[in-house]
Structure 1
Amino acid sequence: MFFTSSKLIYFLITPSNLFILAGLAGVVLLISSGLRRTGATLALGGTLGLLLGGLFPLSELALLPLEQRFPAYASDVPAPTGIIVLGGGIEAGVSEARDQVIVNDAGERPIYLADLARRFPQARLVFSGGSGFLGGGESEADIVSRHADAIGVPRSRLILENRSRNTRENAAFSAALIHPKPEERWLLVTSAWHMPRAVGCFREAGFRVEAFPVDYRTRGWNDALRLHAFSSDGLLQLDLAVKEWIGLAAYKLAGYIPDWFPAPDAPSPETPSPAAPSPGSASR
């Protein structure tokens, strides 16, 4: 029920959809009713929303706190026990139809699965990703398994979790599959803007992980002053950021994460700090 309702609610409150619907409703009211003031307000609000959200750096202001929450992963720490990569970077429907690996804007997730597999040849590799479609379909994990050679991942090392439909299930099903031990070190690979919610879900599942953020959408705080050349770019980023902030609030209210805005663990004296150079240098 949570999965279905979250999909429907987000469609209705996605900023770009909301701005367009407000503008259209305003025009209809201006033309066909006596509520001209209300119509004018809606039409103006929808137009301003598209303008400000598309061309001005509202999306960066919304994304930066998410992306800066967890530092990039250091390169000089001991090899981990295992690596968990979350789905979301593969267009499952198109990949299934074309029988190829088709990645989307989060394609760094499977790319870094291959990179980390090479860097840590003894680490266990877990890919967690089911089907995110309401009607089902082939899972991302199954696509990764079938096209492991194309991605550059040794198929024999892959541990696949193919039932999860959202981040909470990524964490719960991965924990049930792996049964991690307290002394083990596991890296969690997902998009930087998604890392706070993902880490929170793994903590709630009793699975301690170390963040390995990828797929940055901003270059740093200087982007807070950068205008967009194309309004579609800004609106795409704004939709993404608003979805993630709403996801954090919904997950906290549902009890899926322990904090409103999960942060890195305080480093213990005997554990190396995961601090590293600028985010872009570790993920691109």
Structure 2
Amino acid sequence: MFFLKKFLTSLILPPGILIIIFLLIAVLEKKRKFIRFLAILSALFVYLISIEPVKDLLFYPLERHKAFEELNADAIVILGGGTYSVGSLNEDTLNRLFAGYVVYKKTKLPVIVSGGAIEGKISEAAAIAQMLKELGVESGKIIEESKSKDTSQNAFYVSEICRQKNFKKLILVTSAYHMKRAEKLFKKTGLNVLPYPADFKKSNHYNIYSFLPKFSNFALSSKAIREYLALLIV
């Protein structure tokens, strides 16, 4: 009964309902074979990126970094991953923040928080800095970089701060799936970075429910696909 409830729920809610619609189009479309083929292909694509094993498969090449045990550097940099309209941090940013805080507790190094404001909201840097202060990080140890709008600008503006402060080596804290691109962009500025990945998306634990389509998997798979596209232009 529990599995049946989960199964029916997965069909009624997106993306399951989209799969049903595509399959209905394929069944009802008798004349145009191309439309029928496209509907079946769309249903298969939506199903695959909505299940746990395929989501993990997409993240596997991205989440290959491991955190360095030797944390010898001049500063820590935490990259913002987004905020909500009220200025609260989203899940990615929160996970990065707490990983950065752990590094700070171990090293007591200065912390550069990087992320600008979008559409008039409070900047990611300001929101992260505020929470770090509430966690007990000294105000004098926090440096805000609030101009950047993307990872390329994160790297550029942080490198400017590092030149002013004479920082040569950074502990780079960001989501594991984002680390490959971030590390490349930071190294292009001439900075030496130690990756400290956070916010891992792979689960590596499956059961029968892992093969039911879920919106959370669909959203995460879309995030991984977007990251691959971004890597093409780095």
TM interval, shorter chain, is 0.7 to 0.9
The aligned residue for residue 68 of structure 2 is: 73
After superposition, residues 123-202 of structure 1 pair within 5 angstroms as 123-131=109-117, 133=118, 135-179=119-163, 184-202=168-186
1:108 alignment partner AA: N
> Judging changes above 3 Å, is the alpha-carbon distance between structure 1 residues 35 and 203 closer, same or farther for their aligned structure 2 residues?
farther
Residues of 1 paired with 2:93 and 2:125: CA distance? 15
SS at match of 1:65: coil
Residues of 2 paired with 1:140 and 1:191: CA distance? 15
Residues of 1 paired with 2:140 and 2:211: CA distance? 44
Q: 1:92–1:143: 8 Å Cα contact kept in structure 2? A: no
Q: 2:124–2:146: 8 Å Cα contact kept in structure 1? A: yes
2:104 alignment partner AA: A
1:87 alignment partner AA: G
Percent identical among aligned pairs is: 24
The aligned residue for residue 6 of structure 1 is: none
The aligned residue for residue 34 of structure 2 is: 38
Residues of 2 paired with 1:92 and 1:151: CA distance? 20
Matched, 1:236 2:223: no
Residues of 1 paired with 2:186 and 2:155: CA distance? 5
Q: 2:89–2:127: 8 Å Cα contact kept in structure 1? A: no
> Judging changes above 3 Å, is the alpha-carbon distance between structure 1 residues 53 and 168 closer, same or farther for their aligned structure 2 residues?
same
Displacement of 1:200 in angstroms is 0.4
For residues 165-197 of structure 1, give each alpha carbon's deviation from its aligned partner in whole angstroms, at most 9, with x where no partner exists. 111000001001221799843100011111110
After superposition, residues 11-26 of structure 1 pair within 5 angstroms as none
> Judging changes above 3 Å, is the alpha-carbon distance between structure 1 residues 159 and 182 closer, same or farther for their aligned structure 2 residues?
closer
Displacement of 1:234 in angstroms is 2.3
Residues of 1 paired with 2:211 and 2:233: CA distance? 30
Residues of 1 paired with 2:148 and 2:84: CA distance? 14
Residues of 1 paired with 2:74 and 2:116: CA distance? 23
> Judging changes above 3 Å, is the alpha-carbon distance between structure 1 residues 78 and 199 closer, same or farther for their aligned structure 2 residues?
closer
> Judging changes above 3 Å, is the alpha-carbon distance between structure 1 residues 248 and 136 closer, same or farther for their aligned structure 2 residues?
farther
What is the number of residues matched between the two proteins? 216
> Judging changes above 3 Å, is the alpha-carbon distance between structure 1 residues 141 and 108 closer, same or farther for their aligned structure 2 residues?
same
TM-score normalised by length of structure 2: 0.78
For residues 3-56 of structure 1, give each alpha carbon's deviation from its aligned partner in whole angstroms, at most 9, with x where no partner exists. xxxxxxxxxxxxx99x959x67x949x67xx96323212221221122222125
Displacement of 1:94 in angstroms is 2.7
Matched, 1:82 2:69: no
SS at match of 1:250: coil
Residues of 2 paired with 1:177 and 1:215: CA distance? 26
SS at match of 2:68: coil
Matched, 1:91 2:83: yes
Gaps spanning 5+ residues in structure 1: where? Answer: 1-15, 96-100, 252-284
2:83 alignment partner AA: E
SS at match of 1:84: strand
Q: 2:76–2:111: 8 Å Cα contact kept in structure 1? A: yes
SS at match of 1:126: strand
> Judging changes above 3 Å, is the alpha-carbon distance between structure 1 residues 206 and 104 closer, same or farther for their aligned structure 2 residues?
same
Gaps spanning 5+ residues in structure 2: where? Answer: 1-13
Q: 1:87–1:128: 8 Å Cα contact kept in structure 2? A: yes
SS at match of 2:122: coil
Residues of 2 paired with 1:111 and 1:143: CA distance? 13
Residues of 2 paired with 1:182 and 1:153: CA distance? 22
Displacement of 1:116 in angstroms is 1.9
TM-score normalised by length of structure 1: 0.66
1:126 alignment partner AA: I
